[in-house]
Structure 1
Amino acid sequence: MADILDGGAHTLRSHGVAVAKIHKHDWLILLLLVVIAVGLNIIEPFHHFVGEEMMTDLKYPLKGNTIPFWAVAIIAILLPFIIFLIYYFIKKDVYDLHHATLGLLFSVLITAVITEAIKDAVGRPRPDFFWRCFPDGKPAFYPTIAGNSTANVSGDVMCSGIKSVIKEGYKSFPSGHTSGSYAGLGFLAWYLSGKIRVFDRRGHVAKLCIIFLPLLVAALVGVSRVDDNWHHWQDVFAGGLLGTTIASFCYLQFFPPPYDIDGWGPHAYFQMLAESGNGNQSSATNVNHANVHQSELQSICIQPQHG
């Protein structure tokens, strides 16, 4: 691995297959998460009790999606991946590209699985539930029988709408659009924080603006869900919190904190350098290895500050 110690590039062609093989089980887990997410989306959610007196807050107009589901995939996955690719073509670092992509996909898919699981378990009606349940505007409820609490005789709704539309009506909490957007764009915000050294103690506000931009886009996605009457504000708040939390865990699994001196690169890259030095070099060469490491830092214009 003399090319590595000499500061050579780590490209998809030279190191891509080897890096992917090391994490083949992680990629298999990603496929499993996809299957689980699809399965959770297919099953019938819990039908939360909806009495006549509860309809007051569930009569918002039935509208379409300002931001459709496929657009969330573009915003939360494709956009960050394009930025990862741009950095790869500049630095030729397959470790960064691989681990950023893997971390991003884990963030989005784990968030999707948890979100769908909670949706199915809670079964909260959407704000437009009335029109989903009664498209003709004529409400109907099961008669209440004293001493009997079974669903079909407790005053619950007797929906006459399309089954698939009614099913979606019970999946309000939390917001999947919001959690997915924050999972992807939150991960991107962490990633950019490390690359531009936002916590370099120099106080450049412009760097913070770059970091907040992805979070603003995610917030606007959440706002659109309330405007479209698909979610209550609590659903959006919970979705944003869920996506941000998972994005943070997934990023820190693959990268050091952005304020760390090595916050610009993935853990695997520095581990590779350390293992290469320990396995092939004497103590004298280890000093040279440290110099190579420093040159890597300087190559991306990092000047750590100590205060």
Structure 2
Amino acid sequence: MPTPRRSPPAKRGSEQDGGIMASFSRFMQRSYAADYAGFALLLVVYTLIQLVVEPFHRMFSLDNISIQYPHAEVERVPVIWNVGYAVVLPLCVFILWALIFQPGVHKTNVTILGLAISVMLATCLTDIVKNSVGRPRPDLIARCKPKQGTPEHSLVTIDVCTETAHHVLHDGWRSFPSGHSSLCFSGLGYLALFLAGQMHVFRPRTDLARVLIALAPLIGAALIAISRLEDYRHDGYDVTTGSILGMLVAYFSYRRYYPGLKSRQCDTPYPSRAEWASSSGYGKLRDEEARIDSSDTYSVDDMEHGTEHVPLRGTSRDRDRGRLGGSSSES
């Protein structure tokens, strides 16, 4: 009898490798694994910065009045409290919101993931800039404790310092930008954007109570940033830059998962990646996202006698039906 043919082992192995790679590619396309991997990478980078990186030490002069402020042993908002305000508080709000309203796995996942990425990305960027710039803090001389005989009217280096506490001394060159400010705005700023989207604060004639609730996290973040001026840890330039950096990162992270705040669907995240891969395809979904972000926005023309033609919630077909009904009543 003739012997049946068998595929060469090498070919079977290559087919298996191709199947594994295809499965892995499909998994990455249908899930948020890449985002979680990016978050883990940011966490590793942040840990390495804290453990092994020292700031650049700029030269300074003892007669520079801008760095002669006292060193506050007790901060108004310690680091651990700032983490509580900027990270734990928004996380608790999201968990409570998910338990009460049960928005679904996808919406809960992208909301919390966006917060995590916002906080971690802002922290890493801030620390990278801090250590690269090496700007002295307003309390540098009090930290340094320069030895006697140090010339007062010429530039000196860190070598004149007698402070033995490593962190206290080297942290004196991490003034720009403010880490407290960037962290609190990246977390509380993200929370403010989320609340604004869920409550449709840019809807025409929205009530003031919703606006104030959405602004509350930003006011809290501003107060934390101001406390750094009161403690003489930063100047206004440091705090302003850190606040802008944190808010920009928060907006970037929020918009990766949610449409703009002027969209009628601002309370609903973009479709999940599983939906992208299984139904419409990337091209069509990019067009859908562009439509949600640009054309499908609120305007005063959508109001009639103080009431919107289009409901806040519902399908696109319902919204189109409402729009048609509004136009026919006007005619």
Give TM-score, length-normalised by structure 2: 0.71
Listed as ranges, the matches of 1:126-275 within 5 Å are 126-134=137-145, 138=148, 140-141=150-151, 155-156=156-157, 158-162=160-164, 163-268=166-271
For residue 52 of structure 1, give the secondary structure of its aligned residue in structure 2. coil
- Report deviation, 1:274: 8.0
For 1:24 and 1:165, how far apart are their aligned partners in 2? 39
For 2:138 and 2:280, how far apart are their aligned partners in 1? 61
Equivalent position of 1:10 in the other structure = none
1:76 equivalent in alignment to 2:79: no
Does the CA contact (< 8 Å) of 1:88 and 1:94 recur in 2?
no
Equivalent position of 2:313 in the other structure = 297
Equivalent position of 1:285 in the other structure = none
| Structure with max Cα Rg | 2
Does the CA contact (< 8 Å) of 2:71 and 2:143 recur in 1?
yes
For 2:199 and 2:28, how far apart are their aligned partners in 1? 25
- Report deviation, 1:296: 9.3
> How many equivalent pairs are there?
262
Does the CA contact (< 8 Å) of 1:140 and 1:159 recur in 2?
no
For 1:276 and 1:266, how far apart are their aligned partners in 2? 18
1:49 equivalent in alignment to 2:52: no
Equivalent position of 1:7 in the other structure = none
Which of 6, 23, 27 aligns to 2:36? It is: 27
Does the CA contact (< 8 Å) of 2:114 and 2:257 recur in 1?
yes
Listed as ranges, the matches of 1:67-106 within 5 Å are 67-89=77-99, 90-106=101-117
Does the CA contact (< 8 Å) of 2:30 and 2:275 recur in 1?
no
1:59 equivalent in alignment to 2:59: no
- Report deviation, 1:21: 7.5
Q: Counterpart amino acid of 1:24? A: A
C-alpha offsets along residues 256-297 of structure 1, whole Å, 9 cap, x if unaligned? 11211111011135x767877769xxxxxxxxxxxxxx9992
Listed as ranges, the matches of 1:268-287 within 5 Å are 268=271
Would the alpha carbon gap of residues 20 and 129 (structure 1) be closer, same or farther in structure 2, given more than 3 Å must change?
farther
Q: Counterpart amino acid of 1:32? A: L
Would the alpha carbon gap of residues 78 and 21 (structure 1) be closer, same or farther in structure 2, given more than 3 Å must change?
farther
Equivalent position of 2:135 in the other structure = 124
For 1:87 and 1:296, how far apart are their aligned partners in 2? 19
Would the alpha carbon gap of residues 177 and 220 (structure 1) be closer, same or farther in structure 2, given more than 3 Å must change?
same
Does the CA contact (< 8 Å) of 2:67 and 2:136 recur in 1?
yes
For 2:205 and 2:312, how far apart are their aligned partners in 1? 21
Q: Which moved more, 1:39-48 or 1:250-259?
A: 39-48
- Report deviation, 1:164: 2.2
For 2:277 and 2:41, how far apart are their aligned partners in 1? 31
Q: Counterpart amino acid of 2:113? A: L
For 1:265 and 1:19, how far apart are their aligned partners in 2? 23
Q: Counterpart amino acid of 1:117? A: I
Unaligned runs of 5+ in 1: 1-17, 145-153, 280-293
For 1:278 and 1:35, how far apart are their aligned partners in 2? 36
For 1:142 and 1:254, how far apart are their aligned partners in 2? 54
Unaligned runs of 5+ in 2: 1-26, 282-309
For residue 80 of structure 2, give the secondary structure of its aligned residue in structure 1. helix
Does the CA contact (< 8 Å) of 1:181 and 1:221 recur in 2?
yes
For 2:214 and 2:71, how far apart are their aligned partners in 1? 35
Q: Counterpart amino acid of 2:42? A: L
Does the CA contact (< 8 Å) of 2:190 and 2:251 recur in 1?
yes
Q: Counterpart amino acid of 2:313? A: L
Q: Counterpart amino acid of 1:217? A: G
Does the CA contact (< 8 Å) of 1:107 and 1:187 recur in 2?
yes
